[in-house]
């Protein structure tokens, strides 16, 4: 079964059957204003903070057929009443003659035909804008004229998204609506919880005259809400009640008589949902987007943004699913994930005060440095502000207030109050940014540490370089009995929470990789002493990993406080962990022989046809001494599930040992685009990576969840572009070091780098996986794999021949 197809030309995925296994969504706007729209027109919108400034009430747990947040109704006279239907299919579920949901870059377009009416609605938030616009074009495709009414509807939530569901007296007592008539007799219906009447009002308005409106849900649905969203009884009346709600469940429904639409004729209705201090303040913007031409221009601007964003790298490989992911959907997901962190999705519901995660955002940055370097740098600056003086980092923070906390570690008595990995990821993010941009002056920027004095001001500041060095120093000084880094509350795997004193060889490797980055950077800065010190620390840890963490056939993943290994053949469950094997290769700690043996163990024990499991076998029963991992049944999430974020690390490791066929096998088996024709098992969107897929110990093996906001996006993008295609930014230039399937004849890449364009054509005449025989830049052979940086604004042709270098 398939529910749609990729339209590569238009950079869209087009859903043609609305009965998808779960909602397939798309993001519009940004965290500043925006949210997501599902493929049947439901919208979750918020401004600035999904937890504390939410606008629409979208309840993902309701069935797919249910109204969620927003819809559009159309109606025409039939018999003594009206035929009411939604061109979005949901919530009226009428039979359609055409249904298409175009999941586009920054917009969703739903095109449908019901009862002779062709409706084409584009939903988006203008760049930098603060309203969600629905641009609806309704065309009569029948042979008779039809008198059409259009009734767009929004259901509001209390701004405190969680309160909405925990207090069903206070919330409804506060919710109110008012109507405003604009000069030109257009209607603006506002909504606000009483305490925000004078500071933040939601508004809903359109470009066409409104003959009546409704703001109370009970009145809209009718008969004390025994009328339904599928058949709102008020829509059987000529007009709505024009009621300005003083309490209750608030909606905004605007009834427009579009009049007779002649065969072939189109009417355009543009609605806006926004929030501002007051209607007066919002009026200029509202008026701007009542004009069709301004809406068109805003969409054009959006297309331009994405043209620029995606122009940084374009690939042409023999595999169409690789091309569509690397050219459009994967970099797009990287941007969305960086923007939204883990705030708001169909799965991460944005209640409470989770904020932005240090480790997550640091890794997200790595997926966007080429495309939006300024945004990447700004996010790095924020992260460094929540690093502590001792070099460790706060786990989460609210980007609006910059108030940070220790994450789940807060809730467990006696648990270490830091995560062993957070601070180390920032080093990888910073060097990714520096290699991409060459902006080494960033290292001298002074940024405060998080610790505050009695006056609430930061006690100490340091340069970015200083922050980086403290990060590694923290790990070096917090080691356990094997000399390996202490786990803290957890490392990358949030769900393995061992007693204080536990050690993590994974952290040793992440630290090793961070040190490699620092050594290289110190040399760039001409700081020989720092390079030497980091090299000594690297060697010290390499020795410990190699003597302590090798288990015979693979590497151990943890040592518990009592010294017992986890992720060892001596364990019954959780014998082997994927991250235990990929990271010693990435850090360079593993000897070549062990690297291959460890990766072979992954292939033999963790590979499935749907991706690499995080560990095996799964823990079968809750064990508070191991923590969250044992709350899942075997095969789910971190407990032996296919946790996608960890897959690209194995791909990268395979390319480092030169096995391109294997790296690509792993790449392909989690490529969502490649699952399009058998998506019923996978269930989630075929155009983005999910966070997890159920593993083969679970009866529903292959089922994906938690799509969109996952570190998988950044890392698969890095694995695909920098390690499989092997186009890697370095301080000195663009490195070309592919590790591809032997069967490929080659590939092409257009890469914009440091202000110039590199047209790279890789030939693979001998059908090898790895190895570059020669590189010619504009016809001149160069030594080595690094194409030097061109003068700004330049362009060059790079011809690469793979094979043994002679």
Q: Give me the residues that bind ligand GLC (CB under 6 A), please.
A: 342, 357, 359-360, 492-495, 638, 691, 710
Nearer to ligand GLC (CB atom), residue 13 or residue 492: 492
Residue 613 CB, shortest distance to ligand GLC, in Å, is 14
Query: Is 501 within 8 Å of 574 (Cβ atoms)?
Result: no
- Sign of the dihedral defined by the CA atoms of residues 572, 576, 577, 579, in that order: positive
Helix segments in 399-527, DSSP class H: 422-437, 464-477, 505-524
Asked if 737 is an active-site residue, the reply is no
State the Cα–Cα distance between residues 113 and 91, nearest whole angstrom: 15
Tokens 């009430």 correspond to what residue? Answer: 57
- Please classify residue 453 by burial: count the beta carbons closer than 10 Å to its beta carbon, then call 0-12 exposed, 13-18 middle and 19+ buried: exposed
Nearer to ligand GLC (CB atom), residue 710 or residue 764: 710
State both tokens at 134. Answer: 């629905």
Nearer to ligand GLC (CB atom), residue 357 or residue 640: 357
Residue 48 CB, shortest distance to ligand GLC, in Å, is 21
Residue 329 CB, shortest distance to ligand GLC, in Å, is 19
CA 576 to chain CA mean position, Å: 28
State both tokens at 804. Answer: 């043994």
Nearer to ligand GLC (CB atom), residue 377 or residue 395: 395
Nearer to ligand GLC (CB atom), residue 407 or residue 738: 407
| 72 phi and psi angles, rounded to 5 deg | -130, 130
- DSSP H or E run through 661: helix 660-670
State the Cα–Cα distance between residues 612 and 337, nearest whole angstrom: 22
Question: Pick from 92, 98, 136: which is nearest to 116 by CA?
Answer: 98
State the Cα–Cα distance between residues 488 and 144, nearest whole angstrom: 71
State the Cα–Cα distance between residues 159 and 725, nearest whole angstrom: 46
Nearer to ligand GLC (CB atom), residue 36 or residue 203: 36
State both tokens at 415. Answer: 């648990």
State the Cα–Cα distance between residues 573 and 795, nearest whole angstrom: 55
Nearer to ligand GLC (CB atom), residue 336 or residue 734: 336
How far CA 398 is from CA of 49, 358, 394, 477, 494, in Å, comes to 9, 11, 11, 29, 19
Nearer to ligand GLC (CB atom), residue 637 or residue 662: 637
- Sign of the dihedral defined by the CA atoms of residues 325, 326, 329, 330, in that order: positive
Nearer to ligand GLC (CB atom), residue 537 or residue 689: 689
State the Cα–Cα distance between residues 439 and 105, nearest whole angstrom: 29
Chain residue at closest Cβ approach to ligand GLC:
494
Residue 627 CB, shortest distance to ligand GLC, in Å, is 11
State the helix-helix crossing angle for 373-385 and 422-437, rounded to 10 degrees. Answer: 150
SS3 content of the chain, % helix, strand, coil (to 5): 30, 30, 40
Q: Which one is catalytic: 276, 494, 696, 737?
A: 494
State both tokens at 351. Answer: 């209640």
State both tokens at 286. Answer: 């509202």
Q: Which residues pair with 7 in a beta bridge?
A: 12
Residue 710 CB, shortest distance to ligand GLC, in Å, is 6
Residues annotated as catalytic (active site), given as ranges: 494
């Amino acid at each position: 079964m398939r529910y749609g197809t990729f339209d590569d030309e238009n950079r869209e995925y087009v859903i043609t059957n609305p009965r998808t296994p779960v909602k397939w969504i798309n993001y519009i706007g940004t965290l500043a204003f925006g949210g997501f729209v599902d493929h049947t027109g439901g919208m979750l919108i918020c401004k600035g903070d999904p937890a504390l400034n939410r606008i629409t009430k979208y309840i993902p747990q309701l069935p797919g057929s249910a109204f969620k947040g927003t819809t559009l109704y159309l109606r025409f006279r039939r018999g003594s009443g009206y035929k009411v239907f939604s061109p979005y299919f949901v919530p009226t579920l009428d039979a359609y003659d055409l249904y298409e949901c175009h999941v586009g870059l920054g917009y969703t377009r739903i095109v449908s035909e019901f009862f002779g009416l062709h409706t084409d609605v584009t939903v988006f938030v203008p760049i930098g804008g603060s309203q969600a616009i629905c641009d609806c074009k309704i065309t009569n495709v029948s042979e008779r004229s039809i008198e059409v009414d259009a009734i767009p509807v929004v259901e509001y939530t209390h701004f405190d998204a969680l309160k909405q569901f925990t207090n069903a007296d206070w919330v409804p007592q506060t919710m109110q609506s008012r109507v405003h008539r604009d000069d030109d007799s257009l209607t603006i219906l506002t909504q606000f919880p009483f305490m925000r009447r004078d500071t933040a009002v939601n508004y809903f308005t359109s470009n066409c005259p409104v003959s009546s409106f409704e703001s109370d849900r009970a009145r809209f649905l009718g008969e004390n809400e025994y009328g339904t969203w599928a058949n709102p009884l008020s829509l059987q009346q000529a007009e709505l009640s024009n009621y300005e709600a003083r309490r209750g469940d608030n909606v905004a429904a605007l009834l427009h008589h579009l009049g007779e639409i002649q065969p072939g004729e189109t009417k355009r209705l543009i609605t806006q949902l926004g929030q501002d201090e007051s209607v007066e303040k919002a009026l200029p913007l509202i008026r701007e987007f009542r004009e069709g031409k301004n809406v068109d221009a805003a969409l054009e601007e959006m297309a331009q943004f994405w043209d620029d964003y995606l122009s940084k790298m374009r690939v042409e490989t023999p595999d169409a699913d690789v091309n569509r992911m690397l050219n459009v959907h994967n970099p797009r997901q990287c941007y969305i994930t960086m923007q939204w962190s883990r705030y708001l999705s169909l799965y991460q519901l944005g209640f409470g005060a989770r904020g932005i995660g240090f480790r997550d955002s640091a890794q997200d940055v790595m997926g966007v440095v080429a495309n939006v370097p300024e945004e990447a740098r700004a996010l790095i600056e924020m992260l460094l502000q929540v690093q502590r003086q001792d070099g460790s980092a706060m786990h989460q923070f609210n980007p609006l207030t910059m108030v940070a906390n220790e994450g789940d570690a807060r809730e467990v008595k006696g648990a270490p109050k830091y995560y062993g990995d957070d601070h180390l990821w920032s080093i990888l993010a910073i060097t990714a940014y520096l290699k991409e941009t060459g902006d080494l002056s960033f290292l001298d920027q002074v940024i405060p540490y998080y610790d505050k004095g009695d006056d609430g001001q930061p006690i100490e500041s340091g340069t970015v370089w200083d922050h980086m060095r403290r990060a590694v120093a923290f790990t070096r000084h917090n080691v356990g009995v094997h000399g390996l880094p202490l786990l803290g509350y957890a490392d990358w795997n949030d769900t393995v929470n061992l007693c204080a004193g536990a050690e993590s060889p994974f952290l040793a490797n992440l630290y090793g990789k961070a040190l490699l980055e620092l050594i290289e950077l110190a040399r760039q800065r001409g700081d020989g002493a720092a390079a030497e010190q980091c090299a000594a620390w690297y060697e010290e840890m390499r020795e410990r990993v190699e003597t302590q963490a090798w288990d015979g056939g693979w590497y151990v993943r943890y040592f518990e406080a009592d010294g017992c290994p986890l992720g060892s053949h001596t364990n019954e469950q959780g014998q082997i962990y994927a991250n235990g094997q990929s990271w010693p290769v990435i850090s360079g700690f593993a000897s070549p022989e062990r690297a291959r043996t460890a990766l072979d163990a992954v292939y033999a024990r963790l590979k499935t046809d749907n991706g690499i499991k995080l560990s095996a076998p799964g823990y079968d029963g809750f064990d508070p001494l191991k923590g969250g991992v044992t709350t899942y049944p075997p095969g789910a999430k971190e407990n032996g599930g296919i946790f996608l974020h960890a897959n690209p690390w194995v791909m990268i490791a395979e390319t480092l040992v030169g096995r391109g066929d294997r790296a690509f096998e792993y790449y392909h088996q989690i490529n969502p685009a490649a699952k399009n024709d058998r998506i019923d098992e996978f269930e989630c969107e075929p155009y983005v990576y999910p966070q997890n897929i159920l593993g083969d110990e679970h009866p529903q093996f292959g089922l994906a969840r938690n799509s969109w906001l996952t570190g998988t996006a950044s890392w698969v993008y890095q694995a695909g572009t920098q390690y499989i295609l092997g186009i890697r930014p370095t301080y000195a230039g663009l490195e070309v070091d592919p590790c591809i399937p032997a069967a490929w004849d080659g590939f092409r890449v257009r890469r914009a780098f440091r202000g110039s364009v590199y047209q790279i054509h890789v030939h693979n005449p001998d059908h090898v996986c790895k190895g570059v025989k020669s590189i010619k830049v504009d016809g001149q052979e160069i030594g080595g794999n690094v194409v030097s940086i061109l003068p700004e604004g330049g362009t060059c042709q790079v011809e690469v021949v793979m094979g043994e270098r002679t």
